[in-house]
Amino acid sequence: MIKKFALAVVTLASTISFSQAQDKKDFVKYINTPHTWVDSVFNTLKPKERIAQLFLVRAHTNLGQRYIDSVAQVVHDEQLGGLVVFQGGPERHVAMFNNYQQLSKVPLLITFDGEWGLGMRLPDSTLSYPYQMTLGAIQNDQLIHQMGQEVAKDFHRIGMHFNFAPVVDINNNPKNPVIGFRSFGDNKENVSRKAKAYMDGMMDGGIISSLKHFPGHGDTDVDSHHDLPQLTFSKERLEDLEMFPFKALIKDGAPAIMVAHMNIPSLDPTPNIPSSISKPIVTGILRDQLGFRGLIVTDAMDMNGVKKFFPNGEADVMAIIAGHDLLEVSENSKRAIDLVLKAIQEGRINQADVDARVKKVLASKLWLGLDQYKAVNPQNLYAELNRPSAKQLIDQLSEASVTVLKSTAKIKAFKPSEKTAILNIGLQAPSTFQNIMATALSNETQYYIAADATEAELTPIIKEAKKNKQIILAIHDTRSRPRPEVAASDAVKSLVKKLAKKSIVTFFTNPYAIDGFAGVQKSKTIIVAYQNDDFMQRAVAQTILGQNIPTGKLPVTINKYFRYGDGK
């Protein structure tokens, strides 16, 4: 019955929606304009089903068939608006999406955290683009626009529609435990430019982009997944700095904004109130003061940052009261829908407001072409998600991000035929960089140094390294999420200090980690690679070998020696 009903709605829509000749380039205008298809679908929905359109349920394919089936039951029984997709495999995801779409009266809106593409959740079988901190170093924003378009192609191919990206938080706290490398940097203008390029690329590619995390998560020392961060800054400081990218991009047509779970007394003095469920922040500031008319979505509602002080579904109700259009990952969506319905009956929530938001969600689905939904074809999926054109762009982005500090002197003087020592810190075996250099150099010796190496272990290595005409110190952070410090022993840090002046020093990690190595500024040539992925290792090798001219600029200030905008 449900599948037939859905097909009937789709058939009706295909004869109506495009005759209205709406301008789909202006997403915000589009979703706030009446549409015949939207009204026709809205009128078929029962009161609970209308509320359900505002909820997005968690979906995985790496937790077993029982979990997949349990979510299918929720989709069927509750007729939710869409999914928030997490880990698994692309083929399994496509099978899941096709199944869930058949169970839904209204095509599901499928959302995903893809800040660096599908690889953020599907790292083993899809492409990862560079992190936003890496992108922040690039001087050609057109490359980032192209990345947005490629990410959109990936989303379309796998059957997803809405990317919770880019992050527009200004990372002005180097010790931030949750943003860091996910930010374009600490300069508000650069963050805004880079975010616009990425946002526009995705929108031009036909998917919805969502800025996050309003009003700005860049200067926190608490991860809102685990607890409620508090921002004690003045409203004036927040408006001038944290909100700057949001304000700029709202003027440029931002389609959606995600609100963070943070307690901000200067914006709402209610004790322990997270910004995500604060009406003075969501409606008062974002809607009324900033004039935002796009989609507003919560950060995940199962995070401790929101449920700690407002448990048992009350946070869901308050999120609706606050002004959200979409609620991401409620702890219990059935309970939440019942509570919202009860709140409407009690007068806590205005029915007309809810109806307007439901129509905005439906209009977003229409903008995406879901009125003519087609199942995803699984054939050649892996090959098409790993296409050569996308890999080529990743290499271009990587090469453009490589940042050289101090001078390029040692790169210009580097000769593949000279006797060279490569000291690889944090690695136990060769990786991409080491293999490329071993092939290119005719007289090199490689040393692999554990991050916790002792002085006794390193003394003979230092002695041997000094006998070489050329030395490369390659500092690797093999963690998938590079932190602002590298856990190196005092002996390892001493090695870097002793050899820096004679070496090309390369950091395959978070740029803030440079500050942990005293004396590194004595090197004439320091290369910042931002992350340890193969594509960055290739780019650095090409740079040292004279095959790539580095143009990257630091997107953050590290210390008094290395500041925002530095780069040769």
List, for residues 487-520, the tens digit of each pLDDT value: 899 999 999 999 999 999 999 999 999 999 999 9
Question: 15 or 325: whose pLDDT is higher?
Answer: 325
425 shares its domain with 484: yes
The helix (run of H) or strand (run of E) holding residue 536 is: helix 534-544
Residues 161 and 290 in one domain: yes
In the predicted structure, residue 1 carries a pLDDT above the cut 60: no
Co-location of 305 and 361 in the same domain: yes
64 and 181 in a single domain? The answer is yes
Looking at 334, 358, 385, the residue that finishes a domain is: 385
Q: Who contacts 51 (Cβ-Cβ below 8 Å, separation ≥6)? A: 337, 340, 341, 354, 358
The dihedral through the CA atoms of 407, 411, 412, 418 has a sign that is positive
Report how far residue 231's alpha carbon sits from residue 468's, in angstroms, rounded to the nearest whole number: 51
Share of the chain above pLDDT 90, in %: 90
| Higher per-residue pLDDT: 171 or 8 | 171
Per-residue confidence band for 10, with pLDDT thresholds at 50, 70 and 90: very low
Is the same domain home to 368 and 411? Answer: no
Whether residue 559 lies inside any domain: the answer is no
What average pLDDT does this structure show over 341-366? 97
Average pLDDT of every residue of the chain? 94
Give the pLDDT of residue 407: 97
Q: Is residue 52 part of a domain?
A: yes
- 454 strand-pairing partners: none
Residue range 520-563, pLDDT digits in tens: 999 999 999 999 999 999 999 999 999 999 999 999 999 999 99
- pLDDT-derived band of residue 23, with 50, 70 and 90 as boundaries? low
pLDDT at 176: 86
Which residues pair with residue 504 across a beta bridge?
472, 525
DSSP state of 129: P
Q: Are residues 43 and 81 in the same domain?
A: yes
Domain boundary among 385, 415, 442: 385
Q: What does the pLDDT read at residue 281?
A: 98
pLDDT at 307: 87
pLDDT of 340 higher than 50: yes
Give residue-wise pLDDT tens across range 126-153.
Answer: 999 999 999 999 999 999 999 999 999 9
Q: Which of 541, 536, 535 is nearest to 509 (CA)?
A: 536
The model carries a pTM of 0.94
Q: How far apart are CA 49 and CA 295, in angstroms?
A: 19
d(CA 306, CA 316): 9
CB 228 within 8 A of CB 222: yes
Do residues 330 and 406 both lie within one domain? no
DSSP 3-state of 420: strand
For residue 289, being part of any structural domain is answered with yes
Residue 71 zone, left/alpha/beta (φ > 0; ψ -120 to 50; rest): alpha
- CA gap 137, 529 in Å, rounded: 10
* Residue 338 falls inside a structural domain: yes
Same domain, 356 and 453: no
The token pair at 555 is 């997107």
| C-alpha radius of gyration, the chain, whole number | 25
Give yes or no for residue 231 having a pLDDT over 70: yes
Q: Is 365 in the same domain as 429?
A: no
Specify the number of domains making up the chain: 2
* Predicted local confidence at residue 57, as pLDDT: 98
Range of lowest pLDDT (58-72, 301-315, 396-410, 438-452) = 301-315
Residue 259 in domain: yes
Q: What is the CATH number of the domain that holds 415?
A: 3.40.50.1700
- Give the residue from 385, 420, 443 where a domain finishes: 385
- Residue 87 in domain: yes
Q: What is the pLDDT of residues 245-282, one digit of tens each?
A: 999 999 999 999 999 999 999 999 999 999 999 999 99
Return the CATH number at 295: 3.20.20.300
Q: What range does the domain containing 442 cover?
A: 402-544
What pLDDT is attached to residue 108?
98
- Reported residue count of the chain is 568
Task: Classify residue 368 by its DSSP letter.
Answer: T
Helix (H), strand (E) at residue 155: helix 141-158
Q: Is residue 69 located within the same domain as residue 164?
A: yes
Q: For residues 372 and 407, state if they share a domain.
A: no
Q: Is the pLDDT of residue 223 over 90?
A: no
- Taking only the tens place, the pLDDT of each residue in 24-37 is 789 999 999 999 99
Angle at 159 between CA 59 and CA 295, to 5 degrees: 75
Residue 531 lies in a domain: yes
Question: Which of the 8 DSSP states describes residue 280?
Answer: I
146 assigned to some structural domain: yes
67 and 209 inside one domain: yes
